[in-house]
Chains A and B, each alone.
Chain A
Amino acid sequence: MSDVTALTAKQAADAIAAGDLDATELFEAYRAKAAADELNAYTWVADEAPAPTAATAGPLAGVPLAVKDLFCTEGVPSQSGSKILEGYRPPYTASVVARLQAAGAPLLAKTNQDEFAMGSSNENSAYGPVLNPWDRTRVPGGSSGGSAAAVAGGSAPWALGTDTGGSIRQPAALTGIVGLKPTYGSVSRYGMIAFASSLDQAGPLTRDVTDAALLYGRMTGRDPMDSTSLQHPEEIVLPTAERLDGIRLGVPEAITGEGIEPGVFARFEETLKLAQELGATVQRVPLPHAEHGLSAYYVIAPAEASSNLARFDGVRYGLRVEAPDLLSMYTRTRHDGFGAEVKRRIMLGTYALSSGYYDAYYGKAQRVRTLIADDYKRAFASVDLVVTPTAPTVAFGLGAKTADPLEMYLNDLFTVPISLAGIPAISIPSGLSDDLPVGFQMAGPAFSENRILGAAYALERAIGFDATAGRV
């Protein structure tokens, strides 16, 4: 076979199963590419292909997997993009990674990310920014920017990411690949270094929709180690339908083009037209509280983060800055170990939870979360999927939004409300604007992944996006 890395994960898995491709050869081809990566997409790459095991005969057939740094992997650095965990090698592997390894996807590499998954550009990593393979002067999005750049650049067949407020979908959009944020709870969080536990969700970043369905189908399932994990009521199937007959798409009333780059909005409208040609209907849906999503999110996520990140105190793992007394050891370790954005969120969250402000911020934000979730429930009474552009812009320049945190947060305007509602959503590439990829986002009710993947597959075929321009 000529260039085995040109195959999608599904094609590679089929070729291995048919005996036309050797799993070790495939691993080596990707390993060489990942080791030579110039995008800073990786924080660790395997030294050699693992010896073939029984798992290689599993449904994922030995197709290697890149994994976001924040998933614990036994004996392999897992640093969550932070200096405070530099060199940390966990004593156990995250459930979802173990599950995929058992299904036949060996660990290829760990991918760079924003520190503790806080960021929309991957510029908050203690291990340096990741470059967008489409234009190396631009960001790949974040926080799963390394996973996105790895898949878009072709040095990994597929990757795991996590999405708390858009961290799978937005980088997928900005790098021209597919990113699925599943229903909250449908994938175990055990062994994911926590950011905001009521929102964190693992999901696939892939070259196409079929690969997303194949990988997600092996990720989901109840895990006794995560009491919030749930059994998916449906088996995830590989999509086949080429039409969208009878599918009702809802466009939020607030999406008028304002605040969205013209090229991004043009691709969005074209994709809607294409969906109608495939048999879908398009109508407007009111989501009156979605505009408050960012506000609620930037209380809830930092509040949970400030609590989760209390564990990094120089006692059990990671960095310790020596000091004469315990309290100074804590405060100095955290001063030296955390980056600027993480400190900002810890401060914001601690403030929102502190005595006298709890009701005004955290209490209110939780009530807004209810309103947003109810908005979506109402919307899904009249439509099957709610659609928006994934991000209001294409990939922006390195450093373009680092001066103003609020401006960076606004890039997640369309992804955050969906996270608050805990519902699944996908981003698929819908064309280019200024030669850069644009993402189309589709959200459905809880556990509607089959519906979302099905519609995404039909649209993907009709759009015919050429991702090869982004390959390194």
Chain B
Amino acid sequence: MIDREQVLHVAKLARLELSDDEVGRMATELSSVLGHIETISQLELDDVPPTSHVVEVANALRADVETPCLPRDVALAAAPAVQDGGFLVPSPQASA
């Protein structure tokens, strides 16, 4: 049901590198799980509203006042790489 090509497309969307082995296994396993999930397509659902959240609350608002947040050095403390008070990452441009 799900082929290798679709697996690779979804992996790209998920920002997930998969080994060749993983791609093959994923195709089989996802097909099996999706096959089970298909049973809900038999249900008549057009008139049923979706539930995104079970708690019946509308807006949860707080007063618009400043509150303390994590100090910068604490927020950066667990980062793999830091420079000039920010998170350091490789360039978005692939280097040659």
Contact = CB atoms under 8 A, between A and B. Distances in A.
Given A343-B18, A347-B11, A91 B77 contact: yes
Nearest to B42: A292
Contacts, number: 173
Nearest to B67: A224
A365 B40 contact: yes
Nearest to B13: A350
A310 interface: yes
B92 A326 contact: yes
Contacts of B53: 198, 228
Nearest to A315: B87
Contact of A313 (B2, B15, B45): B15
A295 interface: yes
A387 interface: no
A298 B29 CA distance: 13
B20 to A, nearest CB: 12
Interface in A309-330: 310, 313-320, 322-330
Interface residues of B, number: 54
Nearest to A230: B55
The majority secondary structure among interface residues of chain A is: helix
Nearest to A317: B78
Contacts of B41: 360, 364
Interface in B32-89: 32-34, 36-41, 43, 45, 48-55, 57, 60, 62, 70, 74-75, 77-81, 87, 89
Looking at chain A, what size class is its interface with the partner chain?
35 or more
B43 A292 contact: yes
A6 interface: no
A24 interface: no
A292 B39 contact: yes
Interface stretch (A9-17, A238-246, A259-267, A368-376): A368-376
Contact of A366 (B13, B32, B51, B87): B51
Given A185-B55, A422-B55, A326 B48 contact: no
A91 B78 contact: yes
Contacts of A315: 79-80, 87, 89
A405 B49 contact: no
A314 B74 CA distance: 17
8 contacts: A88-B78, A224-B62, A228-B60, A292-B39, A318-B80, A347-B10, A370-B48, A446-B54
Given A295-B36, A334-B17, A346-B14, 17 more contacts: A91-B77, A292-B39, A316-B87, A319-B80, A320-B81, A324-B90, A325-B92, A326-B92, A327-B15, A335-B18, A347-B7, A347-B10, A347-B26, A350-B13, A370-B50, A404-B32, A409-B33
Interface of B: 2, 6-7, 10-11, 13-19, 22, 26, 29-30, 32-34, 36-41, 43, 45, 48-55, 57, 60, 62, 70, 74-75, 77-81, 87, 89-95
